[in-house]
Structure 1
């Protein structure tokens, strides 16, 4: 008897969640196409590029919004069970509420594992394709799309070293108005300026043009200057390109290496990368918390029926997403610990889940 009920609830859990995804993702694609079709046509984007973009679009947003879809799907089919008095019949047969919850938790485990696999293996490449397409075709004018220059780049390449360029041309691999500063114990050791910095890919060296290097001394400064000089630096050419969304596009092992590299450099953007890393684990866990809340909210009959349960569910779901975004931005833009900020929505809703579950058990 119990196995039949478990299979019945688990089947409804997974089927409703899948249908919810299959319903809303195409709607999102249609809305996006209607908004972007003019730019796609104007930029003469090929069909294969558009198809690849919307495949990445599907994976990217399915991963981003799956907590909402999961939450609403559980409320939807559990409310139907409650309205048909099926929940009352199950609990009246002597099954405890915790036992009734077991197939839901099995379903949450399956969804969580799938979401974790997606975030580790599929989402990084989908994020790269999705954001690269938007940057190339949708978020810039036709002239800007063919530009590969970046301006006003300031990067911390180690704990004590900083570089700045006013303009960097990726095609020619040349930086203009280059500046490099070295500090020790918060005191400037030397400053290097050059009107132009050229990368030499054959031997991975750099050529300085019209350079001046000032070493700060106790008795006096030492100045070295010249028209041209070949040298080696301890930064990569990619350090001159702003890291806009690189963390989201890296697989888990590469992301860990990247974060370690940035931490050794003393990067000021380290919190941004840590938020991306921690969310890979926090989102799958949210499936369990939201499932428990959804069952506790929708397992009892209410006045207003399913509509009332869905209204409560929508409010709670968007509150969760709101907290997730707020604390994510807080961790990126302040000194707040990224781990605590990322897990705060799960902690808050976890406490809410315990309260609602105890109330439902009564």
Structure 2
């Protein structure tokens, strides 16, 4: 059963957090709209599509930066409590510091569960709409989604390679398909160009050559053009960079398993997205403890000093999160360690600050 004090702190915790979101998200929307308004008008994007885009942007933006908003909101209202000597009054009544933290932990649990549900299911849908609008209207004509040196294992026996894939035209250059039975290659298909036909889900191969490996002699078959079918789709071969962000947790797990089997070079990028969906919500607890420990002490400089310390710590947390995430995406560094390391470091900091705040 929650006491009057618990309800009071919990109301402040959730209310200030929501208020901060409502204050900063419109600012983000206005800044973003000011940057993109010329392209939106030039492409004559209908208003309902623009409205949906900014709704997706709001969810995407809130999910991405909620740890910082939460951190600042806790520092803000706890500093105010400290300046009004409410913290001192409560602790002077003989209640332990850990009891003082209880409503904060309840609030962190609520935020963690909401962030977990959002990151697993709601934010991916918003991210898909946000990114599709961006590539359709704001990056029109750019080849950001094209890929080079694409290699995939498409099933147990077949491996394909292309030196270049044009996602917009659904075509590739220097295509090869190698079929293995056990450890022995039985045939190899090569083409200077491959084009995917969306109408009937077929492929057209130009300057087609097929070499069947015989026991004594190879059989070579060649044509200038061949229409055929394969056991893959172009989207499976060239997943866009943001694809992992648009999948809910069930779809993402299946997607990563499939991409691992195909030998994708982007596995670490996808793994970072998956692990962050767990690590960021958990950071609500760690950042809450740090924020309370920093701001529950009444300082000579008032709330400004606490906010300055909080902003500095928040920026360092975001820096750690980004730098280790990038390391995992661009190298063989473990995605699990990269995503959880900031939480580990700041958990140690939280314990240290909490022990000092109790004194």
How far apart are the structure 2 equivalents of 1:302 and 1:186? Answer: 71
What's the counterpart of residue 293 of structure 1? 290
3-state SS in 1 of match to 2:232: coil
Q: Residue 30 of structure 1: CA displacement? A: 1.0
Q: Residue 199 of structure 1: CA displacement? A: 4.3
Q: Residue 178 of structure 1: CA displacement? A: 2.5
Q: Residue 252 of structure 1: CA displacement? A: 1.2
Do residues 85 (structure 1) and 82 (structure 2) align?
Answer: no
- Name the stretch that deviates more: 184-193 or 259-268: 184-193
What's the counterpart of residue 9 of structure 1? 9
Q: Residue 223 of structure 1: CA displacement? A: 3.4
What's the counterpart of residue 245 of structure 1? 242
- Name the stretch that deviates more: 12-21 or 154-163: 154-163
- TM-score, structure 1 normalization: 0.89
Do residues 336 (structure 1) and 323 (structure 2) align?
Answer: no
What's the counterpart of residue 307 of structure 1? 304
What's the counterpart of residue 347 of structure 2? 350
* Residues 194-273 of structure 1: pairs in structure 2 closer than 5 A: 194-199=191-196, 205-214=202-211, 222-229=219-226, 231-273=228-270
How far apart are the structure 2 equivalents of 1:249 and 1:127? Answer: 5
How far apart are the structure 1 equivalents of 2:324 and 2:45? Answer: 37
Contiguous gaps of at least 5 residues in structure 2: none
> Would the aligned equivalents of 1:63 and 1:115 in 2 still touch at CA under 8 Å?
yes
> Would the aligned equivalents of 1:167 and 1:175 in 2 still touch at CA under 8 Å?
yes
- Name the stretch that deviates more: 262-271 or 92-101: 262-271
> Would the aligned equivalents of 1:166 and 1:175 in 2 still touch at CA under 8 Å?
yes
Q: 1:202 to 1:243 in 2, by over 3 A?
A: closer
Q: Residue 192 of structure 1: CA displacement? A: 2.7
What's the counterpart of residue 151 of structure 2? 155
Q: Residue 33 of structure 1: CA displacement? A: 1.3
How far apart are the structure 1 equivalents of 2:145 and 2:321? Answer: 34
How far apart are the structure 2 equivalents of 1:275 and 1:34? Answer: 31
Q: Residue 224 of structure 1: CA displacement? A: 3.1
What's the counterpart of residue 136 of structure 2? 136
**Cα-Cα RMSD:** 2.8
3-state SS in 2 of match to 1:208: strand
> Would the aligned equivalents of 1:179 and 1:194 in 2 still touch at CA under 8 Å?
yes
Q: Residue 198 of structure 1: CA displacement? A: 4.6
> Would the aligned equivalents of 1:178 and 1:196 in 2 still touch at CA under 8 Å?
yes
Do residues 124 (structure 1) and 124 (structure 2) align?
Answer: yes
> Would the aligned equivalents of 1:153 and 1:242 in 2 still touch at CA under 8 Å?
no
Q: 1:169 to 1:261 in 2, by over 3 A?
A: closer
Q: What's the CA shift string for 1:99-149, capped at 9, x where partnerless?
A: 000000000000111111111221011101111111122223xxx17x999
How far apart are the structure 1 equivalents of 2:258 and 2:352? Answer: 43
How far apart are the structure 1 equivalents of 2:65 and 2:2? Answer: 32
3-state SS in 2 of match to 1:95: coil
3-state SS in 2 of match to 1:104: helix
Q: Residue 152 of structure 1: CA displacement? A: 4.2
Q: Residue 157 of structure 1: CA displacement? A: 2.8
3-state SS in 2 of match to 1:303: coil
How far apart are the structure 2 equivalents of 1:110 and 1:204? Answer: 47
Do residues 192 (structure 1) and 189 (structure 2) align?
Answer: yes
3-state SS in 1 of match to 2:60: helix
* Residues 313-328 of structure 1: pairs in structure 2 closer than 5 A: 313-328=310-325
Contiguous gaps of at least 5 residues in structure 1: none
> Would the aligned equivalents of 1:148 and 1:169 in 2 still touch at CA under 8 Å?
no
- TM-score, structure 2 normalization: 0.90
What's the counterpart of residue 54 of structure 2? 54
> Would the aligned equivalents of 1:167 and 1:177 in 2 still touch at CA under 8 Å?
no
How far apart are the structure 2 equivalents of 1:204 and 1:32? Answer: 38
How many matched pairs?
Answer: 357
How far apart are the structure 2 equivalents of 1:199 and 1:226? Answer: 18
